[in-house]
Structure 1
Amino acid sequence: MNAFSRSQTIRKPAIRSKAGIVAAQSRLAAEAGAAVLAEGGDALDAAVATSFALGVLEPWMSGPAGGGAMMIWREAEQKAYCVHYGMRAPAGLDPADYPLSGEGVASDLFPWKAVVDDRNVEGATAVAVPGLVDGIGIAHQRFGRRPWQGLLEPAIALAREGLRIDWYAALILASNTRSLARDADAAALFLEDGMWPPVPGWTALVDRRVPNPAMAETLAVLAERGHREFYDGEIGRRLAADVQAKGGSLSAEDLSAYHATIAEIARTPYRDGGFYLPGNLTAGPTFADVFARLGEGDMTGLDQPDGHSFGAYADAFAGAYQDRLAGMGDNEAPHSPTCTTHFSVVDRDGNMVAMTQTLLSVFGSRVVSPSTGLLLNNGIMWFDPEQGKPNSLGPGKRCLMNVCPVIGETADARFAIGASGGRKILPAVAQLSSFLIDFGLDLDAAFHHPRIDASGGPAVIADEALSPEILAALGQTRRVVTAPRTVYPNSFACPAGVMRRGAQNFGATEIMSPWGDAVAEPSGASDHP
């Protein structure tokens, strides 16, 4: 039993526009991207602005010192591309510096054997080589229209102005105060007196903010000198020096040697549509496995998913995750909080971007680089600290991620979708994609439809809003636990997506996300369907 209302109804209608749309977990970041579209930028230009704005506005979710992957659809070429900018272990990392404690499991996302002092989870020793800036930089060089410098200006202004503390920001900060207080620079940036979470004012006349002038200066230099300044220039040298001063192994040479990749992606067919998926070291191959299993059954003929449909989802997820965990080494605790954000963009010409970026845990390593103002990732936690495993920690190794940005096609539409939520990402993105392709739901109906999470744990987590008939069907052969769809904690992933049908664009975000919104470029007439 829980204390939540049984009569409250929450809706967040998808928007519709002939102009471009940005759907992001922060409305303010989506507005920054939509403004770029209105100025003549394309979907990739809007993605650059949105990405850097999110790093300022959602510091607990992502930032320039993180990694991830994106899918790009180029309408004129009728081709899709994947940009992979995952993190790497530093070349100078020594696995012997992460001795097993011999007691229990890690304190955060992954149930690895515990490491002494959680050195792979928190602090500078958990920092991996970040890839986000190079990934979005090479994508902009190839596909962008607008000058790089102007695309970073919204994020620079936001960093100077400061993150506004409302109830949601205060909740996230309060939930992580103890960890943030362990790093003097993180405490100075995010906490009051280095130890207390900031709280919002009791009236609209009180405007409390967390400015980050050091980050603003870093972004200004990056805007002026280009994305490789982060890897080959003074920003990279300062970042590495800060990490090493705090005991980490990230070096300037690691940054200089880092290069993201971009590759054309073939279509994976499914029924009357298909998918363009990211490759190895993401959840893309597991997504393909899920739909190969779904394709073997009968998922069509209905206008809504039923008990049989959700049973098929649960079985497909169980089988695909069993293969993933055995062969790829990912072993995440399925319901731990994660630090990831996703946004999707469609422009008026039909170009699309589905972009996922992450610091991994909430607030990453909980360490701030004082000279750059950047919150740092804890990508080392992606590796199993026990040697001899598929994903064991080692110098220079690439991290395995759960990110799953997707470009999908129905019989008469195209969509870009993804989510945050760690291992919960794949089930959410797969169900939403199936709702659109197998049942012909529109974006609004798909995002409002209850879902399940079956991501390798001991039970299927089902939205308690599912019908009794569906819950009963699921429970016939599975252990089922129901949970409400709430703001915090998150039992389900947080998706964002856009769709194009004919000359009409649509956008939607997770209905329970208090900040997320789909925003149309200001020049376009938009409305609710």
Structure 2
Amino acid sequence: MMMRGILRWRSGNTLPKYKEGFFVFRDFHAPGRSAVYAPHAMAATSHPLATNAALEILREGGTAADAAVAAMAVYAVAEPHMTGIGGDCFAIVAQPDGTLSGMNSSGRAPKNVSADKLIADGLLDIEPHSVHAITVPGALRGWEKMLKDHGKFSFEQVLQRAIGYARDGYAVSPRAAFDWKEAVDFLKRDEGATELFLKNGRAPVAGEVMRNPQLAETLEAIAKGGADAFYHGPIAEEIAAVVQSKGGYLTVEDLAAHEAVDLTPVTTDYRGVTVAELPPNGQGIIALVMLELMKRFDWADLDPMGPERFHLQMEIAKLAYSGRDRFLADPEFMEHDPQAFLDPDYIDGLAKLIRPDAVLPRQPEDVLSPKSDTVYLSVVDENGLAVSFINSIYHGFGSGIATPKSGVLLQNRGACFTLEADHPNQIAGGKRPMHTIIPAMALKDGLPYMSFGVMGGGYQPCGHAHVLSNHLDYGMNMQEAIDCPRMFIDEKSLSLQAETSVPMETVEALKALGHEVAIVASPIGGGQAIMFDRANGGGLIGGSDPRKDGCALGY
């Protein structure tokens, strides 16, 4: 039976009341935010300065792609713990007629590295803080490709706001300050990171002005010379030299060889909407596996904050993620075609394992085989071009290793590799690691319906499924779907992690069912979404995650 009263969560806040299966009017007495409505164009990001940069570009006549790159560049300055030009990026772009295209600009492992070399050096795994976790920074080739394929503006036009913030300063936002203070000891391990990202050995506080003049100079060089200014010459030479000085294998040749590539998105249908994700080496296919499994269950009669819903969703996540960890990798090395994971017989077999009254143990490989800290933003322009764009340095402050002259913080995406023999994701020279960051797009009746993404490392496929279910199964609008309390699995122990906003009676009921449940200290991920409101005249509806500092705005 569908629950119809008021659902209480997050210290007395309320979700809206149901009306014929759909939420109406939030409780305006309670803290929270409304979805944003705009008739023409919109940007949704996790930082106000990034949203503003995107809107300025749109008003100047730029496309959604131009605006997305401008916003991402601002992120790279103002949220250095989350993203930067030392990281990777992916995108899905929807044309106004519904035509989809994808882009993968994730970097590869150094050509000279191998699992045998690292094992001979005594490594048992590639730890996140290891210099061997540094892969080629892919972001800038991706930004350049976005501008070339879908934009009107040059790097010089879209980077000016980021250059200004890096040179003249920006005020640290509250969530950034909250995360920053936990990374002080980590940053102190590296002289470049200490100089660039600490103030007299401490983290900045909210409102304090931070600058990165070295990064400003690097961005100015890119504005004038394009991505080549980063991948060739002094900047590339410094990156390679810094990594090699710490025992890594990255070379200037590795940097020069990087290219962003086109991808065809993979899709599945859920509740009348076509959901598009990028194929591996990203984990987007796992979001589609979760949605396919979710289609085998009836969600409408379940309380969206109740134990039954979370139990089913987490059991589905366990199966999908276990398959990810065993089989996903650079597609050149995968055992199975990604489409095999969406085969109906395979999905049916997994669904039969799930019981409403019992907790699944970890599954053996023969069952899982189909043979038996990130930023995300969304922009829609006046012509209806929609861009779903994600950029990351992986863990908070990435590798914690920075180039002191060029101000570049290097990612630690190589920590996603394994040293396990015969594993498709075993590190090898020139190979791309399994990647966690995934943009998403949804179509309805063949036209763009929703550009969305959910941040949070491994959580992202689960987050995509959760937000879509909030909207399509429970009728929540973009903001409500993002706000709704979250839960995830510990990817090693398979115990459950719940936000403080999950009702305590739900937590206790899950424990009684046999789950181990812990309340997490930090909120789970973030998210942005923009929906085309074609039913009411073609405007846009946006939402931005209160777990971050950003906002959705439009005109």
Which TM-score bucket, shorter chain as reference?
0.7 to 0.9
Provide the C-alpha distance between the structure 2 equivalents of 1:178 and 1:48, rounded to a whole number of angstroms.
32
Provide the C-alpha distance between the structure 2 equivalents of 1:465 and 1:52, rounded to a whole number of angstroms.
32
Provide the C-alpha distance between the structure 2 equivalents of 1:198 and 1:440, rounded to a whole number of angstroms.
41
Corresponding position: 1:428 with 2:463: yes
Provide the C-alpha distance between the structure 2 equivalents of 1:269 and 1:199, rounded to a whole number of angstroms.
45
Counterpart of 1:192 in structure 2 is: 199
**What is the one-letter code of the residue matched to 2:406?**
T
**What is the one-letter code of the residue matched to 1:254?**
D
In structure 2, do the counterparts of structure 1 residues 473 and 500 end up closer, same or farther at CA, with 3 Å as the change threshold?
A: farther
Corresponding position: 1:129 with 2:165: no
Corresponding position: 1:95 with 2:115: yes
Corresponding position: 1:415 with 2:450: yes
Corresponding position: 1:47 with 2:79: no
Residues 63, 385 of structure 2: 8 Å contact kept: yes
Provide the C-alpha distance between the structure 2 equivalents of 1:325 and 1:448, rounded to a whole number of angstroms.
28
3-state SS, counterpart of residue 476 of structure 2: coil
What is the aligned counterpart of 2:385 among 351, 376, 394? 351
In structure 2, do the counterparts of structure 1 residues 475 and 97 end up closer, same or farther at CA, with 3 Å as the change threshold?
A: same
Counterpart of 1:461 in structure 2 is: 497
Counterpart of 1:107 in structure 2 is: none
What does 1:170-209 align with in structure 2 at a 5 Å threshold? 170-193=177-200, 195-199=201-205, 208-209=208-209
3-state SS, counterpart of residue 505 of structure 1: strand
Counterpart of 1:437 in structure 2 is: 472
Give how far 1:292 is off.
1.2
What is the aligned counterpart of 1:394 among 418, 423, 428? 428
3-state SS, counterpart of residue 353 of structure 1: strand
Provide the C-alpha distance between the structure 2 equivalents of 1:468 and 1:494, rounded to a whole number of angstroms.
22
What is the aligned counterpart of 1:81 among 86, 90, 101? 101
Residues 88, 139 of structure 2: 8 Å contact kept: yes
In structure 2, do the counterparts of structure 1 residues 421 and 237 end up closer, same or farther at CA, with 3 Å as the change threshold?
A: same
Give how far 1:94 is off.
4.1
Provide the C-alpha distance between the structure 2 equivalents of 1:172 and 1:440, rounded to a whole number of angstroms.
33
Counterpart of 1:138 in structure 2 is: 145
Structure 1 stretch displaced more, 413-422 or 26-35: 413-422
**What is the one-letter code of the residue matched to 1:89?**
A
Q: 1:38-75, CA deviations, whole angstroms, 9 ceiling, x for partnerless residues?
A: 11111111111011111001101010110131111111
Residues 404, 429 of structure 1: 8 Å contact kept: no
3-state SS, counterpart of residue 285 of structure 1: helix
Residues 263, 279 of structure 2: 8 Å contact kept: no
Provide the C-alpha distance between the structure 1 equivalents of 2:153 and 2:47, rounded to a whole number of angstroms.
23
Give how far 1:308 is off.
4.2
Residues 356, 419 of structure 1: 8 Å contact kept: no
Provide the C-alpha distance between the structure 1 equivalents of 2:514 and 2:274, rounded to a whole number of angstroms.
30
Residues 303, 441 of structure 1: 8 Å contact kept: no
Residues 317, 455 of structure 1: 8 Å contact kept: no
Counterpart of 1:334 in structure 2 is: none
What is the aligned counterpart of 1:31 among 48, 52, 73? 52
Structure 1 stretch displaced more, 122-131 or 504-513: 122-131
Give how far 1:24 is off.
1.2
* Structure 1: gaps (5+ residues): 103-111, 201-206, 331-338, 525-529
* Structure 2: gaps (5+ residues): 1-8, 14-29, 331-372
What is the aligned counterpart of 2:85 among 64, 86, 100? 64
Provide the C-alpha distance between the structure 1 equivalents of 2:425 and 2:457, rounded to a whole number of angstroms.
17
Counterpart of 2:340 in structure 1 is: none
Aligned residues: 484
Structure 1 stretch displaced more, 163-172 or 145-154: 163-172
Give how far 1:407 is off.
0.3
In structure 2, do the counterparts of structure 1 residues 346 and 163 end up closer, same or farther at CA, with 3 Å as the change threshold?
A: same
3-state SS, counterpart of residue 360 of structure 1: coil
Residues 239, 371 of structure 1: 8 Å contact kept: no
Provide the C-alpha distance between the structure 2 equivalents of 1:144 and 1:246, rounded to a whole number of angstroms.
39
Residues 19, 347 of structure 1: 8 Å contact kept: yes
Provide the C-alpha distance between the structure 2 equivalents of 1:511 and 1:410, rounded to a whole number of angstroms.
27
In structure 2, do the counterparts of structure 1 residues 226 and 79 end up closer, same or farther at CA, with 3 Å as the change threshold?
A: same
Give how far 1:97 is off.
4.7
Corresponding position: 1:321 with 2:355: no
Residues 85, 140 of structure 2: 8 Å contact kept: yes
Give how far 1:327 is off.
1.8
Counterpart of 1:153 in structure 2 is: 160
**What is the one-letter code of the residue matched to 2:203?**
P
Q: 1:93-139, CA deviations, whole angstroms, 9 ceiling, x for partnerless residues?
A: 2435534898xxxxxxxxx9456xxxx53364432111111112112
In structure 2, do the counterparts of structure 1 residues 113 and 494 end up closer, same or farther at CA, with 3 Å as the change threshold?
A: farther
3-state SS, counterpart of residue 374 of structure 2: strand
TM-score, normalisation: structure 2: 0.80
Provide the C-alpha distance between the structure 1 equivalents of 2:287 and 2:527, rounded to a whole number of angstroms.
15
Structure 1 stretch displaced more, 43-52 or 475-484: 475-484
Provide the C-alpha distance between the structure 1 equivalents of 2:516 and 2:35, rounded to a whole number of angstroms.
30
Report sequence identity in percent: 26
Provide the C-alpha distance between the structure 1 equivalents of 2:228 and 2:490, rounded to a whole number of angstroms.
37
Counterpart of 1:492 in structure 2 is: 524
Provide the C-alpha distance between the structure 1 equivalents of 2:105 and 2:397, rounded to a whole number of angstroms.
19
What is the aligned counterpart of 1:509 among 541, 544, 550? 544
TM-score, normalisation: structure 1: 0.84
Counterpart of 1:279 in structure 2 is: 279
What does 1:289-368 align with in structure 2 at a 5 Å threshold? 289-300=289-300, 307-328=307-328, 339-368=373-402
In structure 2, do the counterparts of structure 1 residues 469 and 248 end up closer, same or farther at CA, with 3 Å as the change threshold?
A: closer
In structure 2, do the counterparts of structure 1 residues 402 and 350 end up closer, same or farther at CA, with 3 Å as the change threshold?
A: same
In structure 2, do the counterparts of structure 1 residues 510 and 69 end up closer, same or farther at CA, with 3 Å as the change threshold?
A: same
**What is the one-letter code of the residue matched to 2:297?**
G
Residues 88, 379 of structure 1: 8 Å contact kept: no
**What is the one-letter code of the residue matched to 2:54?**
G
Over aligned residue pairs, what C-alpha RMSD do you find?
2.8
Provide the C-alpha distance between the structure 2 equivalents of 1:492 and 1:169, rounded to a whole number of angstroms.
15
Provide the C-alpha distance between the structure 2 equivalents of 1:68 and 1:413, rounded to a whole number of angstroms.
22
Give how far 1:385 is off.
3.0
What does 1:1-12 align with in structure 2 at a 5 Å threshold? 6-7=11-12, 10-12=31-33
Provide the C-alpha distance between the structure 1 equivalents of 2:263 and 2:10, rounded to a whole number of angstroms.
48
In structure 2, do the counterparts of structure 1 residues 326 and 99 end up closer, same or farther at CA, with 3 Å as the change threshold?
A: closer
